[in-house]
Structure 1
Amino acid sequence: MPLPLATEWNENAGSHTRIAYAGTQIKELVASELNNYFQIIFNETLEEFEEYMGNQSILSIPEIILLEVDENGECFKLIERLKQNFLFNGLIIVLISLSNDKDLKINAMRLKVHDFYIYPFAMSDLRERLNFLVKFKLIKPKLIEISKEVDTAYRIPVGKRLLDVLVSGTMLLILSPLLLLIAIAVKLGSKGPVLYKSKRVGTGYKVFDFYKFRSMRVDADKLLIELSTQNQYANEDGGTKAAFVKIKDDPRITKLGNFLRNSSLDELPQLFNILVGDMSLVGNRPLPVYEAEMLTSNEWSMRFLGPAGLTGLWQITKRGKLDMSERERKKLDNFYAQNHSFWLDMKILFKTVPAVFQKEKV
């Protein structure tokens, strides 16, 4: 019996999911491709859509809003009005545009919609995305409860934990002069704090404070929306899929920050995360919360069943190679979550040092 495709991971769950759709340009395509997987209420105009939404009760509100972006940008005004209504808080909002206009992407990002697709794209990608967003919406408000439940299924082996404490504690002690020099250099190099702290999702969906030496300008977050719409910083797909992508050759990085990243010295404060037990020396890299919210497949979920770590399989396997894809990273993370052991950890640790000095930015 053939295994199901990854894009079909949660098709049955979506059959009870309601979508309120507005638009006519690709209505027939959406109907033919998604009707078998979702309950879709079609509205041809935004006015008709808004009237439909206004007639809903708390029991009949759809889980997903799927809108075609109009030339005049009226859909953005509609989204703003919907967000002002407490009844519609938490709705999943996805936009589809037939134009690759960067201003539309900027407006979408500012409104914090869940995703922005530019047609043409594979409907299977959209189907998988919508299924995942519904699944993630159900677990996101209960991250604390989920982390407790998952922790009962996974406990870090005693030997692995002892190794983490011994190595991280020793390295913090030995490297303390270097840590002090880097801290001074960061402080003198640009305005802002020495350490950058962010929320990360680790083992069992545990959320913790993740530390790095600051390598970006203090206004980095404000520049993100603008840079993500500029062609020279866009991803290889040219924006034909989801618009929320990582920035390539990010100009927000300071000169010192570029050196720290290439040498991986910016990661040294994570030794403290290891010492206190937030993560391990070896494991799958913990993800930023915002990145976890924008995931496009369940392939990421398996990775949370293993330890989070400073270094891992994908860092040593294909670091520095241009053919490293997101799917390959996911497969390596999943493999480690299912097969991690003391000897595999030792192998990864011994291969990490030469990988650090490769020139490719990862």
Structure 2
Amino acid sequence: MRVVYLSPDIQEAIAFESEFGSGIEIKHFDNPKLFLRSLEKGDRYDLIINAATPGSPLGINLLRTIKEKFASDTPVIWLANTPVPPSLQRMLMAAGISDIFYQNPDKEKLTTRINYLVRANKMDANSRPNSVFAYKYPLGKRVFDIVVASTALICLSPILLMITLLIKLESKGPAFYYSYRVGTGFKIFKFWKFRSMRQDADQMLDSIKVLNQYQSSAGKLEENIFSICANCEKESTECINKLIDEQGQIICEHQYIESKKNKVGPAFIKIANDPRVTRFGLFLRNTSIDELPQLYNVLRGDMSIVGNRPLPIYEAEKITTDEYAARFIAPAGITGLWQVSKRGKKNMSEEERKALDIEYAQKFSLRKDLYILLKTVPAMFQKENV
């Protein structure tokens, strides 16, 4: 696996290679012209890591040039020293960034991401060695997807037109909605749906996260945060590695790390009785009719008819930090094992959903896909408003 490290600081590049260079080839560039010249010569890379500042010669403009001039699908990881505001995140994504990590606190996440890409690169070496995103569907599955998607679009075209008109009549805004989703091999693509929410739904998300169906146990240990940590208590000693937290209180380093982990919210977000949903949108969601535009994604090859649901970027980023990253090895799909097994049930935990995704990734087949499709129709007409 060949990795490019873009940074004006050669010592930083040397430190990165020392830490992550095992089993991969890392090439450092501190000059954008030299990097562009390398690409013009035909050099191919499996991953680009950018540790420069956004406005520098190695920053956003260089990434835009690579994307436009070379039509590169090479994943790009942005390494930041400070929190990246949402406006800059959108600019980075538009320029071709796949992931954003912070150099110090996200070191474990970055290691997981690189290790996954190394594995994906090895798995894909026999088909398309120059792309870690390449995923070769079984021929039968791809033919099945094209036949089903094209037939469904032709037969349903009058209904799709009627739905489009009803959405436009009920509320202002476009009838179709897309968001960026992460699919097979962490590939990011435009994910299409009928709009079932208000136009400002994305801006309202932070204010309603308390209604999330996938609530974690985060924060339950908050009241014990300043007691002696479990490691030191086991050794019957006082905490040695002490830190001062944001409130100015002394805590153990081990305890501080655990508290930070506990503050991380659940990976999935699904709102029961979502106040952002329109009246007609509620019908579309409860019958899953809002998913029909994804047949276009299937024809494009972004998705399959059956597979694991592609995730929003903020959800996918959390899944990459642990053993559940395996769910991204499976095809991304319109319907899947999770939908027909547990969809909408309030007692479904986040761990159960992840386990179902991994089960499909490990055992998917055309026969299993047909079984899931047969169970999809009754699952579409659910009672829960989620």
Q: Normalization by structure 1: what TM-score?
A: 0.60
Q: Report if the CA contact (8 A) 1:203-1:304 is conserved.
A: yes
**Structure 1 partner of 2:330:** 306
**Structure 2 partner of 1:75:** none
Distance 1:247 1:146, change over 3 A: farther
Distance 1:138 1:156, change over 3 A: closer
2:79 aligned with 1:90: yes
**Structure 2 partner of 1:284:** 308
The equivalences for 1:158-177 within 5 A come to 158-177=139-158
* Amino acid paired to 2:369: D
Large movers: runs of 4+ above 4 Å: 57-62, 83-87, 108-112, 137-140, 231-235
Q: Choose which of 184, 188, 196 in structure 1 pairs with 2:177.
A: 196
Distance 1:93 1:327, change over 3 A: farther
**Structure 2 partner of 1:338:** 362
Q: Report if the CA contact (8 A) 2:337-2:357 is conserved.
A: yes
3-state SS, counterpart of residue 182 of structure 1: helix
| Contiguous gaps of at least 5 residues in structure 2 | 1-10, 17-52, 59-77, 90-104, 122-127, 220-262
Offset at residue 223 of structure 1 (A): 1.7
**Structure 1 partner of 2:271:** 248
* Amino acid paired to 1:148: S
Paired positions, count? 258
Q: Choose which of 131, 135, 157 in structure 1 pairs with 2:112.
A: 135
CA distance in 1, matches of 2:351, 2:133: 24
**Structure 1 partner of 2:64:** none
The equivalences for 1:1-362 within 5 A come to 58=12, 90-91=79-80, 131-132=108-109, 134-136=111-113, 148-151=131-134, 154-228=135-209, 231=210, 236-237=215-216, 240=219, 241-243=263-265, 246=269, 248-249=271-272, 250-295=274-319, 297-362=321-386
Q: CA RMSD in A?
A: 3.9
Q: Normalization by structure 2: what TM-score?
A: 0.57
CA distance in 2, matches of 1:93, 1:248: 31
CA distance in 2, matches of 1:350, 1:247: 25
* Amino acid paired to 1:248: I
Q: Report if the CA contact (8 A) 2:216-2:265 is conserved.
A: no
* Amino acid paired to 1:277: G
3-state SS, counterpart of residue 329 of structure 2: coil
CA distance in 2, matches of 1:352, 1:223: 30
CA distance in 2, matches of 1:166, 1:111: 41
Q: Report if the CA contact (8 A) 2:112-2:322 is conserved.
A: no
Offset at residue 227 of structure 1 (A): 2.7
Q: Report if the CA contact (8 A) 2:214-2:350 is conserved.
A: no
Q: Report if the CA contact (8 A) 2:306-2:332 is conserved.
A: yes
3-state SS, counterpart of residue 148 of structure 1: coil
Offset at residue 296 of structure 1 (A): 6.6
CA distance in 1, matches of 2:279, 2:308: 28
Q: Report if the CA contact (8 A) 2:340-2:372 is conserved.
A: yes
Offset at residue 138 of structure 1 (A): 8.5
